[in-house]
Structure 1
Amino acid sequence: MRIYADKLTEHLSRQLQNVYLLFGNEPLLLQESREAIQHIAKEQGFDEKHRFSIDNSLDWNQVADCCQALSLFSSRQIIELELPESGVNAAIAKELLALSSLLHSDILLILVGSKLTKAQENAKWFKALSAQGDWVSCLTPDIQRLPQFVQARCRKLGLKPDPEALQMLAQWHEGNLFALAQSLEKLVLLYPDGQLTLVRLEEALSRHNHFTTFHWIDALLIGKANRAQRILRQLEAEGVETVILLRSIQKEFSLLLRMHQQSKLMKMAQVFEKNRIWQSKRPFYNAALQRLSVAKIHRLLILLTQIELTAKTQYEHSPWPQLIQLSLEVCKPEHEIPFSTAFHN
C-alpha cells in the first residue's frame, strides 16, 4: 500500500508491517518516518538493528545472515538498507529480489531511497517487497499542498494558526522543512495558548524559505509571475550565479520547442512519455505550451542571449533586472504584455 509520510503514524498505530519502502527527496520526512517505524518496532520486540549502505563493497551475505541466523532465543531484528543515489542497477535488483524471499515475521526491513522512478515502481524487486508491506512517499510537499502539510503539523502540536499565519508559515519555510519543524517547536514554547497570528509570527520568526533554480523554473512554466519574482530576489540575495539560471531556462525553452514540434505528430500523453515528464510536472508543461507559442519562445531565446552577453561581458551592469523582466514576459500571455525594448542597448 502507498501512504504519505504525514499519514504514517496513523497507519503504524493500527498495524506494523514487515517491510517499509521509504522513497522521496525530503530529508525531514525520511528521517521522521525511520524514527516512527523504529519506535513502534521497538515496542513490539524488535531490539536489534542492522544498517547497511548499498554500494559495490556491500557483502550481501551479511544481510542474508541477519535473516537466517535466528534461534528461539534471538530477538526480532530491524534491517535497514540505504540505496545509492544512482538508484537500483541490475545487480542490486537481483539481490533485493532474493532478499524478499528471506523475510519473515521476526525481520522488519526498512529500505530507504531517493525519488522513486516509474521503472523502479514496475520492477520485480519493488513489487515483491511492496507486496509484503507499505511504500511511504517522502516527497517534499509542493506549494499547493504545503499549507495543508503545515496545518497538520500545527494540529499535532496544539498550534492554531489563523489563515494568514498559515500562509506565511508555508511561504517562509518552503523548501526547508527542517526549519519549519524548528520554528513550530519554538512557537509552542513562546505561545502556550497556541494562537498564531501574523503579528506573533513576525515577532518570533525570521524567514527560512530556501528556493532553488527548480522552484523558479516551475513558477515560470505555470505562469506565476509574482512567485517567480520572489524566488529570483531570494536567489540573487543568496549569490546564485546567473549563468546557472540562464542555462536552466535555455534547456526548458529547447524542451518546449521540441514538444511543440512533437505534438503535431503524436498525442500529448505520448509527448510527455517520450520526454520523460513526471506526471506531477505535466500540468506545468501543459500551461507553458498553451501560453507560449513557438514564435514567442524564439523571441525569448534572443532575449536570453542578450542577458548572457550582459552577464559575461558587461560587468558594470547587473543582469538581474533583465532576468526579472524575462520572468515577467515568460509568465504573461503574449497578448497581455509587449516585449520590452529595455534589453536592446
Structure 2
Amino acid sequence: MIRLYPEQLRAQLKEGLRAAYLLLGNDPLLLQESQDAIRLAATSQGFEEHHAFTLDPSTDWEALFSLCQAMSLFASRQTLVLQLPENGPNAAMNEQLATLSCLLHDDLLLIVRGNKLTKAQENASWYTTLAERSVQVSCQTPEQAQLPRWVAARAKAQNLQLDDAANQLLCYCYEGNLLALAQALERLSLLWPDGKLTLPRVEQAVNDAAHFTPFHWVDALLMGKSKRALHILQQLRLEGSEPVILLRTLQRELLLLMNLKRQSAHTPLRTLFDKHRVWQNRRAMIGDALQRLHPTQLRQAVQLLTRTEITLKQDYGQSVWAELEGLSLLLCHKALADIFIDG
C-alpha cells in the first residue's frame, strides 16, 4: 500500500495509475480534489465512463458486480467510485467488498471514499486484497500545527507570495474549514493580480470562518491557550453549538485530570495513561496540563461546571456562555473574579 497526502497525489498519478485509490478522511475539499485529480488522470488514459455508488443496506451489489464484469471489445474503460458509510463498512458490506475487490481488471479503476478507517477495519479482507495494488490518500483536515505549511504550499501552487503574518491570519480565520480557505485564496488572487499577499491586503478580504469541534476547545484549555480557547468558543457559539455538549466534553476531561493527579502520587504517569486508555497523541498535552494545573484549580473548575449544568437544567434557555468563558480562563491559569467561582 502506497500512503500519500493529497499534495503528493499528482506526482504519483504521473508515474502511472494504480488499480485502486482509497481516499480516507474527514475533509470534503481534500476528498473531492483528490477524486477529481484521479478522474482527470484516468480520463487522459481512456477511462471514459464514470460510475458512483453510495454504499448502504439497500445497495444493489449484483448490479455492481455486473458493472465490474462488463468487458467486451467495444466497452470503454471506466472508473467506479464507492462512498463508504460514515462509520465504515459493516461485516456484511466487508464480504461484498471482498468479492468486488477480486473482480478488478485493467479497464476498471476503483476509487473508495470514506472516513478514516480503524485498525480493525483495515484488517478486513477487501482492504488487505487491495493493499498490494492501491494508493491510500489521507484526506484529514490539517491540525493547527500543520495548517500554515498547507496554506503556504497552496499559495505557492497558485503563484501567490504569502508572507508569514498573512499566513497566520488565514489560519486563524479558516482553521478547520479548508473549503472556505481555498476560496479565500482564489478571491485574493483575483483582488491582487500581482500575487503579493501581505497582511494589510489579506485583512481586507477575509472573514472569520474557522470551524471547530468541542474537542478543539478542550485541547486549547489543556494547553493553556486562553486566546485560542475563547476564539473557538466564539465560533462554536456562532455555529449554534449546544453548551451542554461542551460541558459534558469538558467534564470527562476534568475527571480524567483529577484522577491522574491523585493517582500519579504513587503510580508512574505512563502506567496511568495505559490504564485510562489515553491516546498517544494526547499524552504530552495532558502531561503538561497536569504539571500546570493546581488541584485547587481543578476543584474550582468542577464547581463552576457543576453550577453551570444546574443552571441549564433549571432553565435550558438561559445563556451560559459567560460561564464557559470563565471556565476557559480558569483552566488557562488566568485570575478569575470570585463571583465566577463562588457564585
TM-score, length basis structure 1: 0.88
From the superposition, tell whether residues 214 and 87 of structure 1 become closer, same or farther in structure 2 (CA, over 3 Å). same
Please give the alpha-carbon distance, in whole angstroms, between the structure 1 residues aligned to 2:290 and 2:108: 50
| Counterpart position of 2:342 | 344
Please give the alpha-carbon distance, in whole angstroms, between the structure 1 residues aligned to 2:335 and 2:204: 42
Letter matched to residue 5 of structure 1: P
Q: Answer with 56-65 or 176-185: which moved more.
A: 56-65
3-state SS, counterpart of residue 112 of structure 2: strand
From the superposition, tell whether residues 205 and 226 of structure 1 become closer, same or farther in structure 2 (CA, over 3 Å). closer
For residue 318 of structure 1, report the CA deviation from its aligned partner: 4.9
Residues 289-309 of structure 1 show CA distances to partners (whole Å, capped at 9, x for unaligned) of: 444466653442122112223
Residue 171 (str. 1) matches residue 172 (str. 2): yes
| Counterpart position of 2:54 | 53
3-state SS, counterpart of residue 50 of structure 2: strand
Task: Indicate if the aligned counterparts of 1:22 and 1:112 stay in contact, CA closer than 8 A.
Answer: yes
| Counterpart position of 2:135 | 134
Residue 62 (str. 1) matches residue 59 (str. 2): no
From the superposition, tell whether residues 281 and 104 of structure 1 become closer, same or farther in structure 2 (CA, over 3 Å). farther
For residue 120 of structure 1, report the CA deviation from its aligned partner: 1.8
| Counterpart position of 1:88 | 89
Residue 243 (str. 1) matches residue 266 (str. 2): no
| Counterpart position of 1:194 | 195
Alignment of 1:1-345 (within 5 A): 1-257=2-258, 268=270, 271-272=273-274, 275=277, 277-292=278-293, 296-313=297-314, 318-332=319-333, 341-342=338-339, 343-345=341-343
From the superposition, tell whether residues 290 and 120 of structure 1 become closer, same or farther in structure 2 (CA, over 3 Å). farther
For residue 153 of structure 1, report the CA deviation from its aligned partner: 0.7
Q: Answer with 152-161 or 302-311: which moved more.
A: 302-311
Q: Answer with 259-268 or 155-164: which moved more.
A: 259-268
Q: Answer with 165-174 or 238-247: which moved more.
A: 238-247
Residues 290-342 of structure 1 show CA distances to partners (whole Å, capped at 9, x for unaligned) of: 4446665344212211222344447998533332221122233xxxx667522
Task: Indicate if the aligned counterparts of 2:173 and 2:206 stay in contact, CA closer than 8 A.
Answer: no
From the superposition, tell whether residues 241 and 52 of structure 1 become closer, same or farther in structure 2 (CA, over 3 Å). closer
From the superposition, tell whether residues 37 and 279 of structure 1 become closer, same or farther in structure 2 (CA, over 3 Å). farther
3-state SS, counterpart of residue 342 of structure 2: coil
From the superposition, tell whether residues 124 and 330 of structure 1 become closer, same or farther in structure 2 (CA, over 3 Å). farther
For residue 209 of structure 1, report the CA deviation from its aligned partner: 1.6
Please give the alpha-carbon distance, in whole angstroms, between the structure 1 residues aligned to 2:258 and 2:94: 37
Task: Indicate if the aligned counterparts of 2:170 and 2:206 stay in contact, CA closer than 8 A.
Answer: no
Q: Answer with 14-23 or 96-105: which moved more.
A: 96-105
Task: Indicate if the aligned counterparts of 1:23 and 1:135 stay in contact, CA closer than 8 A.
Answer: yes
Task: Indicate if the aligned counterparts of 2:326 and 2:336 stay in contact, CA closer than 8 A.
Answer: no
3-state SS, counterpart of residue 99 of structure 2: helix
For residue 86 of structure 1, report the CA deviation from its aligned partner: 2.6
Please give the alpha-carbon distance, in whole angstroms, between the structure 1 residues aligned to 2:276 and 2:251: 20
Letter matched to residue 344 of structure 1: D
Task: Indicate if the aligned counterparts of 1:262 and 1:271 stay in contact, CA closer than 8 A.
Answer: no
Task: Indicate if the aligned counterparts of 2:19 and 2:105 stay in contact, CA closer than 8 A.
Answer: yes
Task: Indicate if the aligned counterparts of 2:87 and 2:115 stay in contact, CA closer than 8 A.
Answer: no
Please give the alpha-carbon distance, in whole angstroms, between the structure 1 residues aligned to 2:126 and 2:336: 53
From the superposition, tell whether residues 61 and 251 of structure 1 become closer, same or farther in structure 2 (CA, over 3 Å). same
Residues 9-57 of structure 1 show CA distances to partners (whole Å, capped at 9, x for unaligned) of: 2221222111100110101111111111001000011111221111111
Unaligned runs of 5+ in 2: none
3-state SS, counterpart of residue 121 of structure 2: helix
Task: Indicate if the aligned counterparts of 1:272 and 1:282 stay in contact, CA closer than 8 A.
Answer: no
Task: Indicate if the aligned counterparts of 1:24 and 1:113 stay in contact, CA closer than 8 A.
Answer: yes
Unaligned runs of 5+ in 1: none
For residue 216 of structure 1, report the CA deviation from its aligned partner: 0.7
